[in-house]
């Protein structure tokens, strides 16, 4: 798999990684064996970057990754990024050194490591990005060797730009996909210029860009694609990228003719992100081993031709931009 440098961490990672939210909760039940099979299939297919969070299944995702590391994964050159901050009410005051240490102890225990490779603030309140004390505390965490590096997972492009301007932010995780183009305007160029990693999340728009859903698709009551459609539980941008389901289906139908022979719609969607200058790693979530394997294989597709890239922008401008561009 193509390797890229993960920003200021200096680490090299395969350009397709794995998002491990599905191994926690909020996507319906993923049994423990299936979760371990997802990790195994991804790593066998060349994935070396795994994204998780302390809040996914209240630690289940981290603990499963910890088990995978203990049972042989540790020797396979992996970079595991976790997140912290969303297990408490969201105030700037909650983002303090003593809290960071406590959250860090829990994640290190869950993952079974002394030093976490990369810890990201998990979509904190916007004011956190302007708080020097928060970033001083993160620097202390690095000095204490609790974490090797830190980054942020952001909701908006403005938050990303503020974070990129800070000297020791190693990575920015942001929603970027064929239905979310705004980061291409300023965030990706700024990150590239500063040497900050871009971790592209929700690359399949929560599965919409797999082309598998239609108007009759029903998601379970324990799946955020059912219970968070209108932002009832968390930022609606995290569910279908904030695109109304019907509009998303219409856009994906128009993208279908662009899919190269021999590739799936999901692989096309992932390749589109890989082709964007400034992207370090793309982190599709997978519910089973077959999805993880197919996603990793998207890295081997040829770069998409210019007319296909232009058509993606055209479809975005026409159908999607009015819904999302001003929001995130
Ligand atoms: N605030 C944050 O920091 C934040 C928020 C969201 C996500 N993330 C991270 O980003 C990762 C990726 O985002 P995401 O998981 O929300 O969304 P995503 O990657 O856009 O979509 C994942 C869904 O796409 C479908 N899928 C995956 N691979 C497929 C394939 N090969 N063929 C067909 N369908 C496929 C599956 O849907 P089915 O379930 O229908 O099979 C899967 O559950 C997460 O796992 C998490 O690590 C972070």
pLDDT exceeds cutoff 90 at 25: no
Evaluate if residue 319 carries a pLDDT over 90. yes
Distance in Å, CA 207 to ligand 1 centroid: 6
Ligand 1 within 6 A of CB of 153: yes
Per-residue pLDDT, averaged over 315-325, amounts to: 96
pLDDT of 296-305, one tens digit each? 999 999 999 9
Distances (CA, A) of 192 to 74, 188, 239, 308, 310: 30, 6, 27, 24, 22
Q: Domain with 48 in it: what CATH number?
A: 3.20.20.100
Could you give the number of structural domains in the chain? 1
8 A C-beta contact, residue 30 and residue 285: no
pLDDT at 26: 86
Average pLDDT on 167-189 reads 98
CA 153 / ligand 1 centre spacing (Å): 15
Residues, the chain: 328
How would DSSP label each residue in 265-288?
A: HHHHHHHHHHTSTT--EE--B-SS
pLDDT digits (tens, 9 = 90+) for 32-60: 999 999 999 999 999 999 999 999 999 99
Give yes or no for residue 169 CB within 6 A of ligand 1. Answer: no
Ligand 1 lined by 284 (C-beta under 6 Å): yes
Residue 64 has pLDDT above 90, yes or no: yes
pLDDT score recorded for residue 55:
97
What pLDDT does 28 receive?
84
Mean pLDDT of the chain: 97
Q: How far apart are CA 22 and CA 16, in angstroms?
A: 16
- 8 lies in which domain range? 3-324
pLDDT digits (tens, 9 = 90+) for 83-93: 999 999 999 99
The pLDDT value recorded for residue 82 is 98
The answer on pLDDT for 231 being more than 90 is yes
pTM beyond cutoff 0.85: yes
95-111: average pLDDT: 98
Q: Give the pLDDT of residue 186.
A: 98
Confidence of residue 29 (pLDDT cuts 50, 70, 90): confident
Both tokens of 296, joined, read: 């990793």
User: In angstroms, what CA-CA distances link 155 with 80, 91, 95, 176?
Assistant: 21, 16, 17, 11
pLDDT for 280 beyond 90? yes
pLDDT at 291: 98
> Is the pLDDT confidence value at 67 over 90?
yes
Ligand 1 centre distance from Cα of residue 145 (Å): 31
Indicate whether residue 210 lines ligand 1 (CB < 6 A).
Answer: yes
What element of type H or E holds 18? strand 18-19
Give the pLDDT of residue 250: 97
Please give the torsion angle defined by the CA atoms of residues 19, 288, 221 and 21, in that order, rounded to the nearest 10 degrees.
-20
Average pLDDT over residues 262-290: 97
User: What mean pLDDT do residues 189-218 have?
Assistant: 97
């Amino acid at each position: 798999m193509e390797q890229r440098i993960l920003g200021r961490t200096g680490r090299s990672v395969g350009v397709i990684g794995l998002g491990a939210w599905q191994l926690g909760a909020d996507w319906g039940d993923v049994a423990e064996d299936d979760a371990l099979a997802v990790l195994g299939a991804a790593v066998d297919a060349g994935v070396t970057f795994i994204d998780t969070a302390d809040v996914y299944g209240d630690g289940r995702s981290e603990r499963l990754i910890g088990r995978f590391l203990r049972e042989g994964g540790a020797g396979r050159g992996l970079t595991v990024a976790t997140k912290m901050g969303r297990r408490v009410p969201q105030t700037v005051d909650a983002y303090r050194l003593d809290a960071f240490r406590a959250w860090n102890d829990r994640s290190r225990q869950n993952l079974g490591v002394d030093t976490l490779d990369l810890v990201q603030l998990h979509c904190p309140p916007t004011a956190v990005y302007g708080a020097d004390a928060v970033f001083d505390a993160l620097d202390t965490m690095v000095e204490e060797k609790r974490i090797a590096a830190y980054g942020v997972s952001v909701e908006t492009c403005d938050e990303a730009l503020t974070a990129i301007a800070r000297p020791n932010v190693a990575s920015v995780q942001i929603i970027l996909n064929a239905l979310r183009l705004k980061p291409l305007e300023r965030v990706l160029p700024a990150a590239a210029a500063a040497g900050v990693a871009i971790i592209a999340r929700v690359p399949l728009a929560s599965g919409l860009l797999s082309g598998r859903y239609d108007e009759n698709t029903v998601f379970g009551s324990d799946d955020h694609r059912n219970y968070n459609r209108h932002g009832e539980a968390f930022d609606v941008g995290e569910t279908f990228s904030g695109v109304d389901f019907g509009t998303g289906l219409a856009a994906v139908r128009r993208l279908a003719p662009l899919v190269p022979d021999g590739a799936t719609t999901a692989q096309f969607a992932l390749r589109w992100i890989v082709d964007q200058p400034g992207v370090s790693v793309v982190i599709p979530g997978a519910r089973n081993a077959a999805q993880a394997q197919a996603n990793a294989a998207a890295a081997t597709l040829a770069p998409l031709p210019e007319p296909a890239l232009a058509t993606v922008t055209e479809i975005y401008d026409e159908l999607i931009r009015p819904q999302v561009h001003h929001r995130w």
